[in-house]
A and B are shown apart, each in its own frame.
Chain A
Amino acid sequence: MIEVKNIVKVFNKGKKNEVIAVHDTNFHVENGEIFGLLGPNGAGKTTTLRMIATILKPTTGTIVVEGSSVINEPERVRKHIGFLTGDTMLYDYLTVTETLKYFGNLYDIGTTALNRRIDELLVMFELTEARNKRIAHLSGGMKQKVSLGRTIIHNPLNLILDEPLTGLDILARRAVTHFMKTAKNEDKCILFSTHVMSEAEELCDRIAFIHKGKILELGEKEMLKRKYGCPSLEDIFVQLMEKQR
C-alpha cells in the first residue's frame, strides 16, 4: 500500500529558477487496485513517482510504502517497490539472464531462489529463447519485457509504472497490459502514470487528474464519469482544464 500525504516538491528552492513541480498532493493506492495518475507532459507525474520510488526527496510531506517512510527508510521502501518508466534503459552489454541475475543479486535473493525466479520470468515474458542474447540485440518490445522482469525480480508488493506503454508496439503493449492486470489479480498495489486517456480507461480502477503539479480531481473511474456526466475520461479532463482557466 502506498500513502502520499501533503507532498510538495520544489526544485532549485530559493533560487531565481525555483519551480514548484508538485503542490500539496494527497492520495493512496490500495492493494489489488490500479491507480492512474493522469495528466499532460510536465504535469508532475514523473516527479511524484520518483519521490515515491525514493529517487527524489519530497520538499515537504510524507510518503509511506508498506509502513515505511521514503524519507527515513528509503532502503526498506526499495525492497517493496518495483519501479519502471517508459524511458529507463537496460545495460546493452549484458545478456537477458545476466541482467536479471544482477538485479536479483542487488535484492539479496539467494542463488537457488533467484535462478528459479529467473526461469519463471523468462517463461512469463516469453524470453526463454533470448535468455543469452545481449540487451543491445533485442527489439524495443523485448527490452520492455526484460525491464518488467527486472522490475518484479524481487516480487515487490507495490509497482510504480511511469508511462510504461510509451513507444511500444501492439504486441509489447499487450504484454505489459496483461502483466498489469495479472499483478492486480495477485493483489499488488499498482500506481500507473500516463498522458493517454484510453490507457487509463482500459486499466485503472481509480484515477487522479494532475495538472501543473496539482491534483484536480480524484476518484473511481465510473463515479467520475457520472459526476461530470461525461462518457470518457478525456471529456472529464477537458472540463477540468476549462475550469482551471
Chain B
Amino acid sequence: MRKVVLVFKKEMLEAIRDSRSFLVVIIIPFVLYPILFITMGFFLQMEKKREARSIYRIGVVNYSLMPELIVHINAAEKFEVVEGNSPLAMFRKDKVKLVLEVQKNNDISIYYDGASKSSRSALKKIDILISDFKELTVKKDLQEKGLSEKILTPFTISKNNIAPAKKMGGFILGIIIPYILLILAFQGAMHAATHVTAGEKERKTIETLLVTDVRRSEIVLGKCLSTFTFAFFAAVAGLLGLIIVVQSGISTVSADVLGFSLAIPWLSCVLIIVAMLPLLWFFSSVLVAIGSASRSVKQATVYNTYCLVIVLVLALFSIVGTTTPGTTLFFIPVLNGALLQQQILAGDVKGIDILATVGSSIVYAIIAYLFAKRSFEKEEILFRS
C-alpha cells in the first residue's frame, strides 16, 4: 500500500502543478457553471419581462361578424388588430403574428406560424382571451334567458399542493443538481485519467515507471485513486457552486419565480457525495482502463467523449424518463446515482433504492477496476502502437 500512496501522491503533485487541473476542478465547477446559471437566469427573467410587455400585431378577417370579440381583444391592450381579407397574405403583407378568421356561423379559425416563437406566444395569449370571451357570451345568453350562470360550473376543482416548501424545493433541485454533478465529476475524472494513462504513454514516462520496483497492480491502484480524487473534488466544487447560486436566489430557480425558497440541507449534500463515491470509483476505473488501452491522448479523449455522451443520456433520463422510478432502474449505472440524488434532495429516500444503487455501483466499480488492472498488465494493450 505504501507504493500505491507514493504513486498517488506523485500523480496528485503533478496534477496540482498543472494549471489545467485548476480549470477542471475549480474554475469550471465552482465558477463557470454558477456564472452560467446566473447569466441564464438573468436573461430568462429579462425575456419574461419583455414578453409580458410585448404587444402582438394580429390580423382579423371578417371583423364585422363579431365586433364584440375585437372590443374584448382591444381591451386587453396586448394586441394591435389589423383588418384584412386573406389570412395567409396577411402574414406576409402585414407582418402579423397570427390571424383570426370569423366564419359566418360565428366559428373562429386561428392561423399561426408554429415555427415562430412569437406567433406561438401570441396564440397562447389569444386562446385565453377567446376562452374568456366565450364564457362571457354564454353568461350573457343565460342571463337573458333568466337562467343561473351556475349551470356552467356544477362543481369547482381546487388543487392543493400538500408538499412542504422544503420538499418542493428539493424536488426542483433534484432536476438540476444530479445532472450537473455527474457531468462535472466525469469531466474531472476524464482529465486526470487521460493525464495519468495515455498522457504518460505519450510523454514516454511509462517505461520509467514500469521498470521500478512497483507492481503493476500498485501503479493502477495509485492512478485510479488520483483519478477518483479529481472526480471527487470536481463534484464537491460543483455542489458548493450550485449551493451558492441556488441559495443566493440569483438564478432562474429563485424564490421569486417559484413562490418558495430553495435550500439544500448540509446533510443532503453529505449524503449526495457519499452516495456518489462508488460511482466515482466506477468512472475512475473505466477511464483509467480506456486511457491505458489508448494509443495517444487524442484517442483517449475521443473514447472518453463517447463515454461522456452515455453519462449525459443516462443522467438526462433521470429528468425526463419516469415519474415514479421502479427499483430496477436503480441497478443502471449513472442513472441510479442521479435518481438516488433526486430522492435525497426531495427527502424521500427508500432503503431498497439506496441498497440497489450503492450495491450495484460497488459491483460495477470492482468490475471496472479489474478491467483497468488487466489493461495495465497486458503488454499488447499497454504497448500497442
Q: Which residue of B lies closest to A56 (CB)?
A: B379
State which residues 55-90 of A face B: CB under 8 Å. 55-57, 75, 78-79, 81, 83, 85, 87-90
Q: Chain A residues with Cβ under 8 A from B156's Cβ?
A: none
Q: Is the CB of B213 within 8 A of A54?
A: no
Q: Is the CB of A88 within 8 A of B215?
A: no
Q: Which residues of A contact B214 (CB under 8 A)?
A: 106
Contact B215 A56, beta carbon cutoff 8 Å: no
Within 8 A of A (CB), among B331-385: 379-380, 383
Cα of A103 to Cα of B204 in the assembled complex, Å: 16
Instruction: Report the Cα distance A180→B210, complex, angstroms.
Output: 23
- In the complex, are the beta carbons of B207 and A75 less than 8 A apart? no
User: Quick one: which of A116-150 are within 8 Å of B by CB?
Assistant: 134, 147, 150
Across the interface, name the chain A residue whose C-beta is closest to B5: A105
In contact, B211 and A53 (Cβ under 8 angstroms) = yes
**A89 CA / B201 CA spacing, docked (Å):** 10
A107, B212: Cβ atoms closer than 8 Å: yes
Cβ–Cβ < 8 Å partners of A91 in chain B: 10, 14, 205
Known: A94-B13, A150-B208. A107 touches B213 (CB 8 A): yes
Asked whether A228 is an interface residue with its Cβ less than 8 Å from the other chain, the reply is: no
Chain B, interface size category, equals 20 to 34
Does chain A have a CB within 8 A of B6? yes
Q: How far is the CA of A105 from the CA of B214 in the complex (A)?
A: 10
Residue of A nearest to B211 (CB): A83
Contact B203 A81, beta carbon cutoff 8 Å: no
A220 within 8 A of B: no
Interface range for A: 20 to 34
Q: How far is the CA of A88 from the CA of B204 in the complex (A)?
A: 5
Expressed in whole angstroms, the minimum distance between the Cβ of B68 and any Cβ of chain A is: 79
| B contact residues around A217 at 8 Å (CB) | none
Known contacts: A55-B379, A56-B383. The answer to whether A93 contacts B17 by CB under 8 A is yes
A12 at the B interface (CB under 8 A):
yes
Interchain CA distance A12-B380 in the complex, whole Å:
8
Residues 156-188 of B contacting A (Cβ, < 8 Å): none
Let me know if A201 is at the binding interface, CB within 8 A. Answer: no
Q: How far is the CA of A106 from the CA of B212 in the complex (A)?
A: 7
Minimum CB–CB distance from B11 to chain A (whole Å) comes to 9
B380 contacts across to A, CB distance below 8 A: 11-12
A98 at the interface (CB under 8 A from B): yes
In the assembly, what is the distance between CA of A88 and CA of B207, in Å?
7
Given the complex of chains A and B, what is the CA–CA distance between A107 and B3 in angstroms?
A: 9
CB within 8 A of B10: which of A88, A102, A147? Answer: A102
Query: Knowing A87-B204, A93-B13 touch, does A79 contact B213 (C-beta < 8 A)?
Result: yes
Given A79-B213, A87-B204, A94-B14, 12 extra CB contacts under 8 A: A11-B380, A54-B211, A75-B213, A75-B215, A78-B212, A89-B203, A89-B205, A93-B17, A102-B6, A102-B10, A134-B17, A147-B208
Give 15 CB contacts A-B under 8 Å.
A55-B210, A55-B383, A75-B213, A78-B213, A83-B211, A88-B205, A91-B10, A93-B14, A93-B18, A94-B14, A102-B10, A105-B6, A106-B213, A134-B17, A154-B213
List chain B positions with a Cβ less than 8 A from chain A: 3, 6, 10, 13-14, 17-18, 203-205, 207-208, 210-215, 379-380, 383
A interface residues (Cβ-Cβ under 8 A, vs B): 11-12, 50, 53-57, 75, 78-79, 81, 83, 85, 87-94, 98, 102-103, 105-108, 134, 147, 150, 154
For the complex of A and B, 7 pairs with smallest distance between CB atoms: A83-B211, A93-B17, A93-B14, A106-B212, A89-B204, A78-B213, A53-B211
